[in-house]
Amino acid sequence: MTSTLSADARPSRVAIDVADLDAMSAFYSNVLLLDKLDEHAGQVSLGRDGQTLVELRHRPDLPRGERRSAGLFHTALLQPDQASLATVLASVATHAPDLFTGSADHLVSQAFYLDDPEGNGLELYFDRPREAWSWIDGRVQMDTLWLDPSAFLAEHLRDQDREFLATAPDRRGSLSAQTVVGHVHLKVGNTAQAKDFYVDTLGFDVTAEMFGALFVSAGGYHHHLAMNTWQSAGVGLRAPALGLGRFDLVVPTADEVEQVAGRLADRGLAVRRDADQHGPTLEVPDPWGNLVRVAVAA
């Protein structure tokens, strides 16, 4: 049994428990320009090219989560090019500027941050080519440098998208279908404990450690997951609340799902087993109750 995930392992979707399903669905569709793919039984699936990226689940019975508790720091939606990123950023600036929280050049990527209407963090970003990334002793070099959103829009927003945002905000402009969940960033209580679970058990590789945060990936990506203690140092198991319901990791084969299950069993961790149309699945909470689902990629 191998001890690490294959190079093709990656996050695929994030399920969020919400209080106002209509408002949240409208935000992810009309502001973030995701397509509404399915709606039934108090659940809305949104994504691109038929692939669900965000799943909204109506849970008005749940309380609002505490800022200090474990849970979702942000869902990061990776855009395939700077023009697509500029289109979504311009939509945010046009329709929800009060939700914008910041921007940064991370050397490996250019990123813009905001919250959804219920306070769940989001990152919209574009990756620089891998050959432009720098690695030292097996660690990717990242930073947080100033990135001017106005200058980014002036340079990269296409004329046809500028026009559609002004005249027909219900349309999708010329967005590429290739938007994916690039990474998921979590709030946890302890990065050493996060490393034990996400690296030593699930099988990710460490790519960076800095400022109370751990970054991990499969296949040499800068990070598929990040875990930080910036607001949550020392916290324990999260209480049921609005916010993160589950995030999905996909792997190429059923055999790899079974390998992950074996590593979890070796650690004595309780796993819920199931199956979908692509093969076996498993669900396991991390040490803070953040639920992880591992499945075979479609």
Average pLDDT rounded to a whole number, residues 8-36: 97
Predicted pLDDT of residue 265? 96
Confidence bin at 159 (pLDDT 50/70/90): confident
Domain with residue 14: its CATH number is 3.10.180.10
Residue-wise pLDDT tens digits, 52-89: 999 999 999 999 999 999 999 999 999 999 999 999 99
For residue 131, give its domain range.
Answer: 10-296
Question: Tokens 């087993």 sit at which residue?
Answer: 273
Reported as a pLDDT band with limits 50, 70 and 90, residue 174 is low
Domain membership of residue 174 (yes or no) is: yes
Tell me if 122 is assigned to some domain. yes
Average pLDDT of the segment spanning 140-167: 90
pLDDT class of 165 with cuts at 50, 70, 90: confident
Whether the model pTM is above 0.95: yes
- Say whether 261 sits in a helix, a strand or coil: helix
Burial class of 289 by CB neighbour count within 10 A (0 to 12, 13 to 18, 19+): middle
Domain for residue 249, yes or no? Answer: yes
Give tens-digit pLDDT for 249-258. 999 999 999 9
| Whole-number pLDDT of residue 3 | 81
Question: Across the chain, what does the average pLDDT equal?
Answer: 95
Q: What's the confidence (pLDDT) of residue 119?
A: 97
Q: Considering the domain boundaries, does residue 36 fall inside one? A: yes
Q: What's the whole-number mean pLDDT along residues 273-282?
A: 97
Residue 4: inside a domain:
no
Domain-embedded: residue 3: no
pLDDT in tens, 193-228: 999 999 999 999 999 999 999 999 999 999 999 999
User: Residue 1 has what pLDDT?
Assistant: 54
C-beta atoms surrounding 16 within 10 Å = 22
Tell whether the model's pLDDT for residue 106 goes beyond 60.
yes
Domain assignment present for 2: no
CA distance 124 to 111: 6
Note the pLDDT of residue 176. 73
Rounded-to-5 percentages of helix, strand, coil across the chain:
25, 40, 40
- pLDDT band for position 273 (cuts 50, 70, 90): very high
pLDDT tens readout for residues 29-42: 999 999 999 999 99
Asked which of 78-82, 158-162, 165-169, 240-244 is least confident by mean pLDDT, the reply is 165-169
Q: How far apart are CA 147 and CA 140, in angstroms?
A: 20
Domains of the chain: total? 1
> Residue 133: helix, strand or coil by DSSP?
coil
pLDDT at 114: 98
β-pairing verdict for 121-127 and 205-210:
unpaired
